[in-house]
Structure 1
């Protein structure tokens, strides 16, 4: 392959560029932010929110960038192990999973390290601009049309150029325009599945001292005892991040969404579990409270298309974007990049329709979608669509969640699924269900 073009230079796009670097002579990453300067501007307004890098995502980063963990730790990130990572359900701390590991840092910090490693590759280069459309020859995508930074909207003009490519990767995120571009070129757009959840979340930074020794991450969520209702069990999470800071996020739905008022944010922290109460009482808030709204989970199913051009794939939120409270987004992007790597290493020609890639990517998307939407349907304002057998799945899930608070083996299996180390179907194994049935809360 002579050339590859990646549309979008955030987490998913950078990982895709790393994959393409092993197959293309020249890889161009187009972004509306100037990647050469390390900018993370308005292209992703949620970047400043607390993001989770699950265990599988951490493993994938280390796979593609050996030594990434040591580099991140040297520059201020933290690595939580076992009891340093706490999970609470209905205000009760779950039994620890000793082998659990989570890298804790802000998303801009991780993207900066990632960008530095990717842009140091000899055949990868950034292009500051905005993709405005696709070019094709009736069989495959042959390139993209690019507008210069600040150019007015429009399909043509002196400030627009054409960039040829053997393979184009859509990493434009939730706002991807790929569907409309495909229709404009005579192709079908992928069908979209949606689940409206009306989530709001807010993140604030605090000065970190020794007020929580031995804690790197603490996460609290309502569970079966409180009918999964945020009003009954205040959800939130904190993570120790670079620069001697705590990053704290609060999340809830509909009219209970957190706002940007600092005093109200602190008041909600004080109704949460002990680690968040301690930070609210002991630490100084740094800067403002940043809010973000997530109206719906959405996925585009490329495998359902009967006609699809060659020379084109999609990764990250361009394929699927699920409720961020479960922290799957970064890890899902990493697994899709690995799916692309397997596809290209299989000998598939980049000019042919990438059906093999989309089938592989669908496997990991199905797992994330199942985990997130099954949990979301427990919220009374979420009205479906309900999957077949939902009532039985919900009944079993409630009992598994309750058992995971006290039973280490059950919690280990539960966390493997949450961290995308295992498929959700593993939670239905007879041996695990027997452990769930036999688990009784301590008196």
Structure 2
């Protein structure tokens, strides 16, 4: 996605107050977009928000590796100029996902050409604290932590949301209320009491389990890459990932899919990492001093709410982020799709200049559609593993067989790897993997077969 697409169309002020429920990455991006279009934006969160980059209990995914895909980094840079530089000054590591990432899959290591596909790797709390500070500095945005929303206020007709009711009985007036409360999308329960049905859902059960630990990052052994991923064959239901993070640290995650459970004991973790065809993750663990405990996390299911199919909805209400769609986090798409939805929110407001039916209709359809590509990527890959259940998108098995060939071809050909990474990074559409010239290239190079394990 070029800056041209992010470019400011004519911003149309709507005026009046707006409220964002949830100071998640999705909520913070939405608040930034609303700040240009509403007189006042209030962001409320039930947590006590830390001043610095501390773990948040309500963000279970927060202790695991985070990398901002190119498309997401572009949005953040557009809304908060200089933020990527600020993150890197604080220790985030610039990673070119082609050049700087050692990626072992399908029996070999992907080639590592330089690319434009850069983004910062850092801890989730550090990213969130940096973005939160930028949002709080906006003159017309107020952030209220330890503030619990209990329901929605409507006008006399019950068709427009006019405010958010707090647990102390007070109300914050709102011309547009954004639900950024994550997977549980708390506002859907509040809407139900007002007579609105929840949207239909797609759920794909994956039962992914993580065990993550932080290590000191040393220069030894000498490496010419900054991050590593080792994807076991689908039968093993195992993968491992090491990302650099601020503070000269590694964050190393062992992942089991389809109910496979990685160990938390360090000796067992090392043995688990050594079970892969490539030793790189085990090498990092063996050479680095662990910091703190191993943290386990379980992700049960991909969940997509079909906002685009909603027939009845109140005016002055929209969902964003995990409230719309929550993917298996191993594909790293969550924060970027949340940013894309916030951008869509701005576009739809500028189109109508009001929070009328036309705005709601356009936003719900566009937000619902915006997740269809990352959903098909995540769910398609999840179905490569036994034990994944739910509605399998048409053609998934064929796509997975082709993806396997792409992975092998990328071990021999730079162009194949760059384009497949651009699709995984949500910069290009999946159709670009199906052009005749590209398919020909994939099939030609895949015939060479996997290059085999190597530790470099």
Q: Partner residue of 1:130?
A: 148
Determine if the alignment matches structure 1 residue 354 to structure 2 residue 371.
no
Relative to structure 1, the CA distance from residue 64 to residue 187 in structure 2 (aligned partners, 3 Å threshold; closer, same or farther) is same
Relative to structure 1, the CA distance from residue 292 to residue 390 in structure 2 (aligned partners, 3 Å threshold; closer, same or farther) is same
Deviation at 1:25, TM superposition (A): 1.1
Determine if the alignment matches structure 1 residue 139 to structure 2 residue 143.
no
For residue 235 of structure 1, give the secondary structure of its aligned residue in structure 2. strand
Q: Partner residue of 2:125?
A: 108
How large is the RMSD of aligned CA atoms in angstroms?
A: 1.8
Q: Partner residue of 2:256?
A: 252
- CA deviation map 1:29-85 (0-9, x unaligned): 110123373565322122111122111111111111110111111111111235222
Name whichever of 268-277 and 241-250 sits farther off.
268-277
**1:198-209 equivalences in 2 (<5 Å):** 198-209=207-218
Q: Partner residue of 1:417?
A: 423
For residue 163 of structure 1, give the secondary structure of its aligned residue in structure 2. strand
Q: Partner residue of 2:239?
A: 235
- CA deviation map 1:62-115 (0-9, x unaligned): 111110111111111111235222221135210114113131111101001101
Q: Partner residue of 2:403?
A: 397
Equivalent of 2:371 in 358, 365, 371: 365
- CA deviation map 1:307-362 (0-9, x unaligned): 11111111110000011111111111111111111111213412435121122223
For residue 344 of structure 2, give the secondary structure of its aligned residue in structure 1. helix
Name whichever of 86-95 and 331-340 sits farther off.
86-95
For residue 164 of structure 2, give the secondary structure of its aligned residue in structure 1. strand
Q: Partner residue of 1:319?
A: 324
Tell me how far apart the structure 1 counterparts of residues 135 and 235 of structure 2 sit (CA, whole Å): 42
For residue 412 of structure 1, give the secondary structure of its aligned residue in structure 2. helix
Tell me how far apart the structure 2 counterparts of residues 206 and 180 of structure 1 sit (CA, whole Å): 41
Deviation at 1:425, TM superposition (A): 2.1
Equivalent of 2:196 in 187, 194, 201: 187
Deviation at 1:407, TM superposition (A): 1.9
Relative to structure 1, the CA distance from residue 420 to residue 160 in structure 2 (aligned partners, 3 Å threshold; closer, same or farther) is same
Deviation at 1:437, TM superposition (A): 1.8
Equivalent of 2:268 in 253, 261, 264: 264
Q: Partner residue of 1:155?
A: none
Deviation at 1:405, TM superposition (A): 2.7
Tell me how far apart the structure 2 counterparts of residues 253 and 87 of structure 1 sit (CA, whole Å): 18
Tell me how far apart the structure 1 counterparts of residues 397 and 130 of structure 2 sit (CA, whole Å): 44
Name whichever of 374-383 and 76-85 sits farther off.
76-85
Q: Partner residue of 2:9?
A: none
Deviation at 1:23, TM superposition (A): 0.6
Tell me how far apart the structure 2 counterparts of residues 254 and 396 of structure 1 sit (CA, whole Å): 22
Relative to structure 1, the CA distance from residue 36 to residue 395 in structure 2 (aligned partners, 3 Å threshold; closer, same or farther) is closer
Equivalent of 2:229 in 209, 212, 219: 219
Tell me how far apart the structure 1 counterparts of residues 364 and 111 of structure 2 sit (CA, whole Å): 37
Tell me how far apart the structure 2 counterparts of residues 390 and 10 of structure 1 sit (CA, whole Å): 32
Question: TM-score, normalising length from structure 2?
Answer: 0.89
Q: Note the residue ranges of structure 2 that are not aligned, 5 or more in a row.
A: 1-14, 452-456
Tell me how far apart the structure 2 counterparts of residues 391 and 202 of structure 1 sit (CA, whole Å): 29
Tell me how far apart the structure 1 counterparts of residues 305 and 245 of structure 2 sit (CA, whole Å): 33
Deviation at 1:397, TM superposition (A): 2.7
1:239 and 1:246 in contact (8 A); partners too: yes
Name whichever of 284-293 and 402-411 sits farther off.
402-411
**Aligned pair count?**
426
Equivalent of 1:176 in 159, 178, 185: 185
Relative to structure 1, the CA distance from residue 298 to residue 160 in structure 2 (aligned partners, 3 Å threshold; closer, same or farther) is same
Name whichever of 319-328 and 253-262 sits farther off.
253-262
1:167 and 1:351 in contact (8 A); partners too: no
Q: Partner residue of 1:329?
A: 334
Question: TM-score, normalising length from structure 1?
Answer: 0.92
Deviation at 1:441, TM superposition (A): 2.4
- CA deviation map 1:352-374 (0-9, x unaligned): 35121122223320001000111
Tell me how far apart the structure 1 counterparts of residues 324 and 136 of structure 2 sit (CA, whole Å): 24
For residue 342 of structure 1, give the secondary structure of its aligned residue in structure 2. helix
Q: Note the residue ranges of structure 1 that are not aligned, 5 or more in a row.
A: 148-158
Equivalent of 1:35 in 37, 49, 54: 49
Relative to structure 1, the CA distance from residue 95 to residue 299 in structure 2 (aligned partners, 3 Å threshold; closer, same or farther) is same
Tell me how far apart the structure 1 counterparts of residues 399 and 94 of structure 2 sit (CA, whole Å): 34
